[in-house]
Amino acid sequence: MTSAPVAPGAPTVVVSDLDGTLVTSAERVSPRACAVINRLVAAGVTFIPASGRPARWMLPVIEQLGLRPMCVCANGAVVYDSATDRITYAAELPADVLAGVTATIAETTGPWLAERGLPPVTFAVERAGRSAFDRAEELFAVQPEYPHAWDTEEHSVEPLADLCSVPAVKLLVRHASMGSADLFDLVNPVVDPQVAHVTWSFSGGLLEINVPGVSKLSGVAHALGDGRAAGTGARAVPQLDPAHVVAFGDMPNDLAMLRWAGMGVAMGNAVDEVLAVADHRTSSNDEDGVAEVLEQWF
């Protein structure tokens, strides 16, 4: 991994994570980053924001950019066309899978947590919807005892059986007394990777579970309209030559797209797993690391 400037050929596709990457700690996209992204779009480059956020939480970011791109949401489980306000793709965990995975996690982690005087894990689900303006409480549902990772009233409260009765694009596993890396080490070994895929993007005790094969990379495949990404192609990889792609990220849910891209760029604030696979390290999200790289070409 290099941290020195790199320049040769300009990319034809730029993919960027949002939180901890393009978005600052103040929830803003800097004027410098806005300017360079608009320049590259004007030059005919495809810009794809790729986030763990649901579609409705993409809008505050892309409105700062003044663009209406195809957006990869929910770690690749959802693709949202912001120009037409349509969810164009959703990879959903079926109700029986939600019920089985939550039961397995609760039953196998419960004794370990109880021995240490810790409460059990709790769950929430994110559902797809059709638009970024669907009623949020119909899309985000939590258990009554679920401790929110961020302040929000945009949710419904449902018992676990109801939570698991409707397909969802993302299952959230929460434990406010553990870090996400430690929670991942506890939960991931008990979830069959053929049934569901576990990752995380927020360090404060929150795991995100998607359909197997779903990642931001598979979401990019759908956003780019790859033929193999139609239907059930969650494992599809874009036909596009990755040599022409630059991708930015900071958390484990960015790993697949960073490995695939011709230039995978880790932010200065990235976790060690991301730094280990990146081709290049830039400054932090609060130091305009994305703009620092893109200004070499645009």
pLDDT in tens, 80-90: 999 999 999 99
Residue 78 is encoded by which pair of tokens? Answer: 């959802």
Given a cut of 90, whether residue 236 has pLDDT beyond it is no
Given a cut of 90, whether residue 58 has pLDDT beyond it is yes
Q: What is the pLDDT of residues 186-195, one digit of tens each?
A: 999 999 999 9
Q: What is the pLDDT of residues 44-55, one digit of tens each?
A: 999 999 999 999
Give pLDDT, residue 3. Answer: 56
Average pLDDT in the chain: 92
CA distance 69 to 92: 23
Given a cut of 80, whether residue 1 has pLDDT beyond it is no
Given a cut of 80, whether residue 230 has pLDDT beyond it is no
117 phi-psi bin (left φ>0, alpha ψ -120 to 50, beta other): left
CA distance 229 to 226: 5
Residue 96 is encoded by which pair of tokens? Answer: 């029986």
Given a cut of 60, whether residue 233 has pLDDT beyond it is no
- pTM exceeds 0.85: yes
pLDDT class of 225 with cuts at 50, 70, 90: confident
The architecture in CATH of the region 13-91+214-294 reads: 3-Layer(aba) Sandwich (3.40)
Q: What is the pLDDT of residues 127-163, one digit of tens each?
A: 999 999 988 788 999 999 999 877 777 789 999 999 9
The CATH number of 95-210 is 3.30.1240
Q: Average pLDDT in the 32-39 region?
A: 98
Q: Which of 104, 101, 146 is nearest to 123 (CA)?
A: 146
Give pLDDT, residue 238. Answer: 55
Q: Cβ distance 120 to 109 under 8 Å? A: yes
Q: Which of 73, 78, 69, 84 is nearest to 50 (CA)?
A: 73
The domain locations on the chain are 13-91+214-294, 95-210
